[in-house]
């Protein structure tokens, strides 16, 4: 799903400085998190086509108040992933699973990870 990473550090710096004006709390954080990809010594594998029947159904977890990845993006992703499910944490922010201690999110995510069983689309109450 990620595009190719630029290998030129000046391009990273320029892109991050531009993004920093829009998202000052996330731009550099994301750059440092992803920077190893700029210099990874292995060529990327062929990208998986989104919506391909070869991709198994997945569970999408979304915090209602996630400014970094808004709910509308999760709904759009759900629409292009056949058979996937979307759980929205009604009180959650970024990274709902394990970090918000919401038993509804955590239990359903763990069931999926352990068994592959998908819950129905839904909204988990704020915890």
Residues 6+ apart with CB under 8 A from 70: none
Task: DSSP letter for 46, please.
Answer: P
Asked whether the beta carbons of 118 and 112 are under 8 A apart, the reply is: yes
pLDDT at 2: 57
Phi/psi at 62 (nearest 5 deg)?
-140, 130
DSSP E strand stretches across 13-81? 59-63
Asked whether the beta carbons of 65 and 90 are under 8 A apart, the reply is: no
For 29-53, the pLDDT digits (tens) are 888 888 887 788 887 777 777 777 7
For 48-92, the pLDDT digits (tens) are 777 777 778 899 999 999 887 899 999 999 999 989 999 999 988
Say what the pTM is.
0.68
In angstroms, the CA 89 to CA 10 distance is 38
Phi/psi at 61 (nearest 5 deg)?
-115, 130
């Amino acid at each position: 799903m990620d595009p190719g990473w630029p290998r030129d550090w000046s391009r990273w710096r320029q892109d991050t400085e531009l993004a920093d004006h829009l998202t000052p709390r996330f731009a550099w954080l994301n750059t440092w998190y992803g920077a190893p990809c700029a210099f990874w010594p292995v060529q990327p594998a062929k990208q998986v086509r989104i919506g391909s029947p070869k991709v198994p159904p997945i569970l999408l977890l979304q915090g209602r108040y996630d400014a970094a990845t808004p709910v509308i993006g999760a709904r759009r992703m759900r629409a292009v992933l056949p058979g996937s499910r979307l759980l929205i944490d009604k009180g959650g922010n970024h990274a709902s699973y394990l970090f918000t201690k919401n038993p509804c999110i955590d239990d359903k995510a763990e069931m999926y990870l352990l068994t592959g069983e998908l819950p129905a689309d839904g909204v988990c109450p704020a915890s």
